[in-house]
Amino acid sequence: MLAMNYRGPRRVRVDQKPYPEIKHPEDAIVRVTRSCICGSDLHLYNGNVPDTRVGSTFGHEFVGIIEEVGPAVDKVKVGDHVLVPFNVACGKCVFCQQGLYGNCHESNAQATAVGGIFGYSHTAGGYDGGQAEYVRVPYANFGPTVIPPDMDPDDAVLLTDVFPTGYQAAEMGGIQPGDTVVIFGAGPVGIMAAKSSWLFGAGRVIVIDEVNYRLEFVRDYAQCEVFNFREMDDPVVFIKKLTDWIGADVCIDAVGAEARGNVLQTITGRKTLLQAGSATVLHWAINSVRKGGTVSVVGVYGPTDNLVPIGNVVNKGITIRANQTAVKRHLPKLIDHIQSGRVSPKAIITHRVPLEEIADAYHIFSEKLDNCIKTVLIPPS
Ligand code: NAD
Ligand code: ZN
C-alpha cells in the first residue's frame, strides 16, 4: 500500500509499505478515505519531537471505511464509515475512566505523560499514522465512531482533532458569559477556538497572528477582532490597551513550540529583549491575561520545555489549564453543532491533494503558501 515515509527534517515522501496487520483481537484495519495535515505534524516534520524515527508514517486526523476487524471487535463492523479520534485510547484505564482520553495509560508503554497518538513518534507510542491507504486502529471498540449518514466526510475528518481541540481550548479557559477571550494563533486550531469561544458565551473574541490571510479568514468565519502582532510595538501592551488596562479574562495558546516573535520587557524606560521564539506565546498570554484570569494551552510543547514565567503566574493568581484533547468526550456535542448548522468546520479546508503529492502538501502548509489553512490528503481509491 502507499504510505507517507518520513526521511528526516522537512523530507517526506510516499512509498510502498506493507499492508498493516491485526496484532490484537481488538484491532481494526481502516481503509483511509481522507487524512489531514495538522499543525502538530509540523513539530514532527521540523524534527522537534523526540524519537521521531526515519521510515515512520505520520497522520492522526483521518476517516475511512472499516476493512477488517479482530475477533474481539463488536462495536464497529466491516464496511462502516468511521472517524477515528487522534488519541489511541483504551477507554478503560484509570485515566480513560475520568474522560482523560489524551492521557490513556494503556496505549503508550512509556506512560511518561502523553497517551498514544496515531503517527506521532515513539514518544507517543510508535503507532503508524493515517497518511496512508490503510492504517491499524487499536482499541477499535472504543475509538472509531460511525459517521452519521447525513454528515459530510470533510466535516467528519475535522472532528478527529481540530474542532474538538478548539472546543476544549475554550472549555479549559472556563469562559463566562461576556468574557474577553484572546487567542494566539489563527491556524486551524485557533480558528476553531475562536468559533467555540462564542459557544461558551464570550462577549469579545480577539485573534492574533502574523499571517494576514489567516487573520482575514478567521475574522469572517468567526466574527472576531483580528490583529497582526508584527504591527504592534509590544503585544502585551497592545492587549492591555484594548481591555482598559485590565487584561483579557481568558488567553488561549493555539501556537505551541514553534511560536515566532519576541518577548520584550521595559525596564527603566528602556525596551529589552527578554526572549525570542518558543516562549513568546506563553509569556504574552500570562502577561496579558487579567489578574485571576485563565490561560488555556493547547499548543504543543516538548516534554522538557521550561518556559513558564512562574512569578507572574503566582503574583497575578492565574490558572493555567492544558492538555492533549480528549476527542471522544466532545463528539456528541460537536456532532450536534454541525448537524444544527451552528458550525461548519469543513469551511477551513483550503487544499485537497492526492496522497502521492505529500511533499508539496507539507511544504505549502508549513510555509503558509497559497493561502493554505487546512490540507486534506486523498489516497488513491
Ligand atoms: P498551525 O501551525 O497551522 O498554526 C499556528 C499559527 O500560529 C500559525 O498561523 C502561525 O503563523 C501562528 N503563530 C506563530 N507564532 C505566533 C505568535 N507568537 N502569536 C500568534 N500566532 C503565532 O497549527 P494548528 O494546526 O492551528 O495547531 C496549533 C497548535 O495546536 C500546534 O502547536 C499544534 O501542535 C497544537 N495542537 C494541539 C492539540 C492538542 O490536543 N492539545 C491538538 C491539535 C493541535
Ligand atoms: Zn492534529
Over residues 132-169, the pLDDT tens digits come to 999 999 999 999 999 999 999 999 999 999 999 999 99
Atom of ligand 1 nearest to the CA of 40: 34
- Give 194-259 as a DSSP string: HHHHHHTT-SEEEEEES-HHHHHHHHHHH--EEEEGGG-S-HHHHHHHHTTTT-EEEEEE-S-TT-
Q: How far is the CA of 248 from the centre of ligand 1 (A)?
A: 20
Q: How far is the CA of 62 from the centre of ligand 2 (A)?
A: 10
Q: Which residues contact 73 (CB under 8 A, 6 or more apart)?
A: 25, 26, 27, 28, 140, 141
Q: How far is the CA of 237 from the centre of ligand 2 (A)?
A: 32
User: Whose Cα sits closest to atom 44 in ligand 1?
Assistant: 40
Atom of ligand 1 nearest to the CA of 38: 25
pLDDT at 280 over 80: yes
Q: Which domains does the chain have, with CATH numbers?
A: 2-161+326-378 (3.90.180.10), 166-322 (3.40.50.720)
Over residues 60-99, the pLDDT tens digits come to 999 999 999 999 999 999 999 999 999 999 999 999 999 9
**Interior angle at CA 285, CA 181 and CA 225, nearest 5:** 35
User: Whose Cα sits closest to atom 30 in ligand 1?
Assistant: 299
Q: How far is the CA of 74 from the centre of ligand 1 (A)?
A: 37
Q: How far is the CA of 102 from the centre of ligand 1 (A)?
A: 18
Which ligand is located closest to the Cα atom of residue 300?
1
Which ligand is located closest to the Cα atom of residue 330?
1
For ligand 1, is residue 49 a contact (CB within 6 Å)?
A: no
Q: How far is the CA of 258 from the centre of ligand 1 (A)?
A: 8
Please state the pTM of the whole predicted model. 0.97
Which ligand is located closest to the Cα atom of residue 44?
1
Q: How confident is the model at residue 275 (pLDDT cuts 50, 70, 90)?
A: confident
User: Whose Cα sits closest to atom 26 in ligand 1?
Assistant: 187
CA distance 216 to 358: 27
Grid cell locating 334: 460537536
CB atoms < 10 A from the CB of 303, how many? Answer: 10
CA distance 300 to 322: 9
Grid cell locating 172: 479549559
pLDDT of residue 306: 87
For ligand 1, is residue 187 a contact (CB within 6 Å)?
A: yes
For ligand 1, is residue 321 a contact (CB within 6 Å)?
A: no
For ligand 1, is residue 115 a contact (CB within 6 Å)?
A: no
For ligand 1, is residue 188 a contact (CB within 6 Å)?
A: yes
Residues by chain with Cβ below 5 Å of ion ligand 2: 38, 40, 61, 161
Buried/exposed 34-49: b ≥16 CB within 10 Å, e otherwise:
bbbbbbbbbbbbeebb
Q: How confident is the model at residue 111 (pLDDT cuts 50, 70, 90)?
A: low
Q: How far is the CA of 259 from the centre of ligand 1 (A)?
A: 8
Q: Is the ipTM of this complex over 0.95?
A: yes
For ligand 1, is residue 85 a contact (CB within 6 Å)?
A: no
For ligand 1, is residue 165 a contact (CB within 6 Å)?
A: yes
User: Whose Cα sits closest to atom 12 in ligand 1?
Assistant: 185
User: Whose Cα sits closest to atom 24 in ligand 1?
Assistant: 39
Over residues 188-207, the pLDDT tens digits come to 999 999 999 999 999 999 99
pLDDT at 300 over 80: yes
Pick from 40, 206, 239, 375 the residue to mutate for probing ligand 1's pocket: most ligand atoms within 8 Å of its CB.
Answer: 40
What mean pLDDT value characterizes the chain?
96
Residue 351's identity, in one-letter code, is: H
